[in-house]
Structure formats: C-alpha cells, structure tokens
Amino acid sequence: MSEVTAEMIERGRGPDPRQIAHRRRLAEQVRSTREKLTSTGAGSRTFDIELLLQFARARMAATLPMLALTTGVALVISLWSAPVTALGWWGAANFAILTIYLMARRILKTPEPKLNLQRWQARFMLGECLQGAAWAALVALALQAGEFNAHAFLFVVLLLVGALNALTATTIPVVAYIGLAPIATSIVGFIVVAPLQSLPLSLAAFVAPIYFVYVTRMLYDARLASLQLRLEKDSLIGELEEATTNSDEARRRAEEASLAKSKFLATMSHELRTPLNAILGFSEVMKEELFGAHIVAAYKDYSADIHNSGQHLLGLINEILDLSRVEAGRYELREDAISLANVVEDCRHLVSLRAEKRGVSIRQAIETQLPRLWADERAVRQVALNLLTNAIKFTQPGGVITIKVGWTAAGGQYLSIRDTGAGIPAEEIPIVLSSFGRGSSALKNADEGSGLGLPIVKGLVELHGGTFTLRSEVRVGTEVIVIFPPERVMDALPQMEGDQQAA
C-alpha cells in the first residue's frame, strides 16, 4: 500500500467531489457514445448531423482552391471571349462559391440541438445547384468560341470541378448529385449541337459525371464506416477511462480501508495486550499457587485454563498483526548473516517435546556445511516453527516428519518439511493458503488454530524474494518447500573470523 498522503487525511474517508464530477462526465460521455452506436447508419440524427458538419468543413476548406480555379478559368476565357463575359461568369461563379462558404461557416457555429437538418440540406442543395449552373455555363461559352482548344480546355475544367465535388461532397451524396446535374445536362446539350470533331471529347465528358456519382457513393459508404469505427473507438476510450476512474476509486477506498485496519489493529493490540498481560500474570500466580494452595482444587485447573486461553489469544493477536504487516508491505526485515541449518535445528529442538507427546517421530537430513544466508532470523525462525507445528498438529500418532535443508539447483538454499498426515485435497490448497482458511482435516481437529500460519509463512518467504510451494496428497502426506534465492547466499563473502576460530 502506498504511504498515507496529506490529501487522504484532509479528505477523510468520504468521496472526493472532483472524482465524482469526473466520473459523472465520463458516464455521460459513454452513454452518449453508446446511443450513437445503437443508431448507426444514415437516417439517424446523430450521423446525419455529423455528416452535414463534415460536408461544411470540406466546403470551407475547398473555398480558396475553387476561387483560384475560377480566377484562372476566367483569365483563359478572356482570350477567346469578351472580357465582360469572362468577368460576368467569374462574378457568378464566385458568388455561388462564397454563398456555400457563408452557409458552411454559419452551420458550424450553430449548436447541434438547434440544427434543422432538412432546412440546411435544402440550402446546401440550392447552393450546389447555383455553383453547378455557373460551371455549366462554360459549355455555352465554349460553343460561342467554336474552337476545339476551347472545347478541350473547358471540358478538362468541368472534369476537374466534378472530381472536386465528388471528393468534398461525399458526406451528403444527394448534394453532390444536384451539383453534378447541371454540368451533366449542359454536356448532353453540347453533344447534341457540338461539331463532329468534339464528339469523342463530349462523350468522355458525359461519362465522367456518371463515374463521379459512383465514386461519391463509394466514398460515402467508406465515410460512414470510418465514422462508426471512430465512435466505437471513442466508446472504448470512454469505457477505459471510466474503468480507470473506478479502479482509482477502488484503490483509494482500499487504501483508506487498509489505513483504518492498521489503525484498528494498532489500537486493539494495545487495548487487548494490556489486560491480557494482567490476565496471564495473575492466572499464572493462581495456577502456581504462589500465595497458598487453593481451598477448592478445581480452581487450580480453572486458573490453568485461563492462562492457556490467554496465551492462545495473545498468540492469535500477534499472528493477526504479523499478517497485516506482511500484507500491507510494512513488515521490516532485520537482515543479518544467519545459518539456515542452525535456525531449523533450534526450531526442531523446541517442538521435539510436543512431537514426542503426540507419538510423532522427526527425521532430519540437514547439510551442515551450508554458507550463511542474508535474511531476517526472526522471520526465518517463525517460518520453520509454523511449518513444524502444522506438521506435528496434522500427523497421526506413529507418523513421521522429515526435515531437509540443502542446496537448490540454481545455487539457493531450501527448507523442506514433509509429514505423513492425512493430506490436503487439491481443491482445498488455495483455501488453506488464504487468511483464516482451514481445510476439512483442520475442521475435524479441535486444535486447528486460526488459519493464519501458512499465509504468514508464504508472505515472509516472498518478502525474502523466495518461493513457497505446498504439495499434498490425501492419505499420503504433505510437503512444504521453502526456497531462498541464490542472491541471499553469502558464499561469495570471505569467511567470518568467528567461523575460522571454530574451524
């Protein structure tokens, strides 16, 4: 868990108003995007508005190139027509282009809820029709010129205009069709009255608008697919941001819950240990009859029960505190050079009397010439004691516990404790490794403990960078293997002075 920040303390355990507002905005964005996706395709207001706005942007971007084109065409027309005629055409064409530009600029400034789609589409249709008529007038000018070069030039211009319309009006095909209609009509009229030498060129110019219509339709379908993919991407991004926000909120709550748990455990450990020490002290005095024998002999047994229960409760409190520190990452390792073999041997000696009482024999195969480990001796001792206690607890009288300490193939050191107990079913292994988890064999045993031993062992081993492995088979036994990594083996260090003298 990350450290407690001043912001967390200032905010307390309540929700952050900024996070709430951010989550609300994300939820509205995701809901809006999902509504768009549920009504995809032409005909839905959301898509029609987006396509209309894209058309307006495209027309605004094409305004300058179109004005430059009309200026160049007007200059060329003046070579074979009267300058007044060229100037009049130039003014009419620019008027139509600027009309569409002003409409596009206005619609982009209008809020989407106030847009009237049918009215704006009708306006753009009228503007495109005016622009198409202005370009179609070039055919009449070409007929007046009567020159083949003029015919070729003007038809090339019409093809260029048709291509520009097909590219800029793809989001509203009907507008593109209306813009091409006057040009196609004028070309048909030219074919009827044109000289024979211009007929092939006229036919090619007539086929071109048909091709442009096809291209416009294909580009429109591609634009729809692209728009749908963009909406899906926006939806995924919104959902990802929402999930990230939820994750941050869950992490914040987890940190606050962990902080509250740590405060609770720290407070309760003090509040519980203080009376427990008094209970343990006075019950031991009464049990040992230090101030005289009890009048009733049963009181001595009661005192012993009180003392044992207090010790059990104190051990449970210590285990809970150890587990909470391990899980929170606050368990501080006091590392030093230790002998794994010596620590395990001390632990075996401590539990040997208990094993004898239960009729369980302990065998060991410990390599005594192992180099030292850089580890926390208290933590390693707790690991060994917990594993040995569990093995004795769940091994029937006459059973055998085998302890092994040695090298791993990678150069580390391992501790293996194997018993011939009832074993643990495979499906119960995750349960016994969880906090307060107890298997079916533990539930049958009146002395099964709190279910914190193995989780604490696993956490302490992982704090050392080691691995914890539990293997078990029903009616065969259980083996726990703890491996310390090669990085903690101190064989590369020079031998200590005390070891030289002992040798």
Q: pLDDT, tens digit, for every residue of 232-252? A: 777 777 777 777 777 887 888
The distance in angstroms from the start CA to the end CA of the chain is 46
Which of the four pLDDT bands, split at 50, 70 and 90, describes residue 294?
confident
Q: Which pLDDT score is estimated for 320?
A: 72
> In CATH terms, is domain 335-502 a member of 3.30.565.10?
yes
Which of the four pLDDT bands, split at 50, 70 and 90, describes residue 341?
very high
Residue 39 has pLDDT above 80, yes or no: no
- 134, with CB counted inside 10 A (0-12, 13-18, 19+), is buried
Closest-CA residue to 283 (of 260, 252, 308, 262): 308
Residue 404: strand, helix, or coil: strand
Summarised one tens digit per residue, pLDDT across range 364-379 is 998 878 999 999 898 8
| Cβ-contact 336, 377 below 8 angstroms | yes
CA dihedral 426, 427, 432, 437 (to 10 degrees): -160
Q: Which pLDDT score is estimated for 37?
A: 44
Question: Where do the DSSP E strands lie in 40-183?
Answer: none
pLDDT higher at 470 or 318: 470
Summarised one tens digit per residue, pLDDT across range 185-237 is 777 776 666 555 556 666 666 677 777 777 777 777 777 777 677 777 777 77
Which of the four pLDDT bands, split at 50, 70 and 90, describes residue 468?
very high
Give the whole-number percent of the chain exceeding pLDDT 70.
75
Residue 54: strand, helix, or coil: helix
Report d(CA 496, CA 493) in Å as an integer.
9
Q: Which pLDDT score is estimated for 1?
A: 40
Q: Which pLDDT score is estimated for 13?
A: 47
Report d(CA 231, CA 32) in Å as an integer.
10
Lowest-confidence pick of 290-294, 350-354, 419-423: 290-294
- Rounded to two decimals, the pTM is 0.47
Q: Which pLDDT score is estimated for 359?
A: 92
Chain region(s) in the chain for CATH 3.30.565.10 = 335-502
Top mean pLDDT of 10-19, 34-43, 136-145, 371-380 is at 371-380
Residue 464 has pLDDT above 50, yes or no: yes
Residue the block writes with tokens 């600027």: 98
Report d(CA 495, CA 239) in Å as an integer.
60
CA dihedral 341, 347, 353, 356 (to 10 degrees): -60
Report d(CA 385, CA 482) in Å as an integer.
13
pLDDT higher at 178 or 356: 356
Give the whole-number percent of the chain exceeding pLDDT 90.
16
Closest-CA residue to 393 (of 351, 330, 428, 426): 351
What mean pLDDT is predicted for residues 81-106?
90
What mean pLDDT is predicted for residues 151-158?
77
Report d(CA 348, CA 334) in Å as an integer.
23
Lowest-confidence pick of 83-97, 319-333, 404-418: 319-333
Residue 256 has pLDDT above 90, yes or no: no
Closest-CA residue to 62 (of 107, 106, 104, 117): 104
Residue 2 has pLDDT above 60, yes or no: no
C-alpha dist (Å) from residue 201 to 137, 151, 198, 342 = 17, 8, 5, 103
Which of the four pLDDT bands, split at 50, 70 and 90, describes residue 502?
very low
pLDDT higher at 480 or 443: 480
Which of the four pLDDT bands, split at 50, 70 and 90, describes residue 42?
very low
* Mean pLDDT for the chain overall: 78
What mean pLDDT is predicted for residues 429-445?
65
Tokens of 472: 């078990």
Q: Which pLDDT score is estimated for 136?
A: 83
Residue 302: strand, helix, or coil: helix
What letter represents residue 419's amino acid?
D
Residue 382 has pLDDT above 70, yes or no: yes
Residue 404 has pLDDT above 80, yes or no: yes
- The number of angstroms, rounded, from the C-alpha of 215 to the middle of its chain's C-alpha atoms is 42
What mean pLDDT is predicted for residues 32-48?
54
Handedness of CA 35, 39, 40, 41 (dihedral sign): negative
Question: Where do the DSSP E strands lie in 381-425?
Answer: 400-407, 413-419
Residue 472 phi/psi, 5-degree rounding, is -150, 150
Lowest-confidence pick of 155-169, 219-233, 283-297: 219-233
| Cβ-contact 311, 273 below 8 angstroms | no
Q: Which pLDDT score is estimated for 193?
A: 61
What mean pLDDT is predicted for residues 279-293?
84
